[in-house]
């Protein structure tokens, strides 16, 4: 398991020029329509400068898709379902969405902050209302929303991975059922991974010894692998754009 987690992404498979003309023509006819995969979320998803050790999973996930996909990472550090809308980031993102695109939506970490924080939301009320808006707006743009449950923080309590984000995960799954939207359960898969590695073994996943939220490149790739595995299992049309 650990070797798989810390492995690099698979190499791209390309057609060679030695193919017969008929085969190349058939492949050309079968090419998929180019699409955007647009990411919205917080610091666990966001892009960072190359010289920094911190990485979001959205920064590394493009290597898992084929050349028919353009990944556009709109995630912003510190944002929640509420502030991504309030700060105008969602309106900017919607202008990029075209029919046939996919929008992957992951929020929860900042939503769960203390109630006096401006980014805070309540899992049972406005968090769910904001998620409904994201889903409805994406569908109005004739694109496909995919919800991604927030990953665990790498914190342990009495030997077990902590569960403070569970209310937000449950709320997201509720909206996924209500709206008939694919929900990638990154909470479950990341929790299983971290529990298996244990409090000491998870250190390489994170960008600093005292940070158990933000990822190193190793950690970002591991999280992206979990997402890609579940995307493939979900068998949505987006799955066909993943590298083999």
CATH number, domain containing residue 153: 3.40.50.1110
Asked whether the CA dihedral 109, 114, 116, 122 is positive or negative, the reply is positive
Pairwise CA distance, residues 187 & 229, whole Å: 14
Pairwise CA distance, residues 165 & 111, whole Å: 9
Question: Is 24 among the domain residues?
Answer: no
Question: Is 209 among the domain residues?
Answer: yes
pTM score, whole prediction: 0.87
114: containing domain: 35-239
Question: Is 71 among the domain residues?
Answer: yes
Per-residue pLDDT in tens (0 to 9) along the chain, 244 residues: 444 444 433 333 222 233 333 333 334 334 568 999 999 999 999 999 999 999 999 999 999 999 999 999 999 999 999 999 999 999 999 999 999 999 999 999 999 999 999 999 999 999 999 999 999 999 999 999 999 999 999 999 989 999 999 999 999 999 999 999 999 999 999 999 999 999 999 999 999 999 999 999 999 999 999 999 999 999 889 999 999 8
- CA angle at 102 for the pair 96 and 104, rounded to the nearest 5°: 95
Question: Is 111 among the domain residues?
Answer: yes
223 within 8 A of 189, measured Cβ to Cβ:
no
The total of structural domains in the chain comes to 1
The closest alpha carbon to 221, from 1, 6, 3, 40, belongs to: 6
Question: Is 75 among the domain residues?
Answer: yes
Question: Is 29 among the domain residues?
Answer: no
Question: Is 149 among the domain residues?
Answer: yes
Question: Is 211 among the domain residues?
Answer: yes
179 within 8 A of 129, measured Cβ to Cβ:
no
């Amino acid at each position: 398991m650990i070797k798989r987690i810390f492995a690099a992404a698979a190499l791209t498979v390309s057609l060679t020029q030695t193919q017969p003309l008929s085969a190349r023509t058939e492949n050309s006819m079968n090419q998929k329509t180019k699409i955007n995969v647009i990411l919205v979320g917080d610091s666990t998803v966001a892009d960072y400068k190359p010289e920094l050790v911190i990485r979001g999973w959205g920064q590394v996930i493009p290597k898992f898709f084929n050349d028919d996909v353009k990944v556009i990472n709109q995630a912003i550090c510190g944002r929640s379902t509420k502030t991504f809308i309030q700060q105008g980031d969602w309106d900017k993102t919607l202008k990029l969405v075209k029919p046939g695109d996919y929008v992957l939506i992951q929020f929860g970490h900042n939503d769960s902050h203390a109630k006096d924080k401006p980014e805070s939301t309540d899992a049972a009320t406005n968090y769910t209302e904001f998620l409904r808006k994201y889903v409805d707006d994406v569908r109005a743009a004739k694109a496909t929303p995919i919800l991604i449950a927030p990953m665990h923080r790498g914190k342990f309590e009495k030997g077990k991975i902590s569960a403070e984000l569970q209310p937000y995960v449950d709320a997201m799954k509720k909206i996924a059922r209500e709206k008939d939207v694919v929900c990638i359960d990154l909470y479950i898969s990341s929790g299983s991974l971290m529990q298996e590695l244990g409090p000491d073994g998870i250190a390489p996943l994170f960008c600093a010894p005292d940070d158990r939220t933000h990822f190193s490149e190793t950690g970002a790739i591991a999280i992206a692998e979990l997402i890609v595995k579940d995307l493939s299992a979900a068998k949505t049309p987006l799955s066909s754009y993943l590298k083999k």
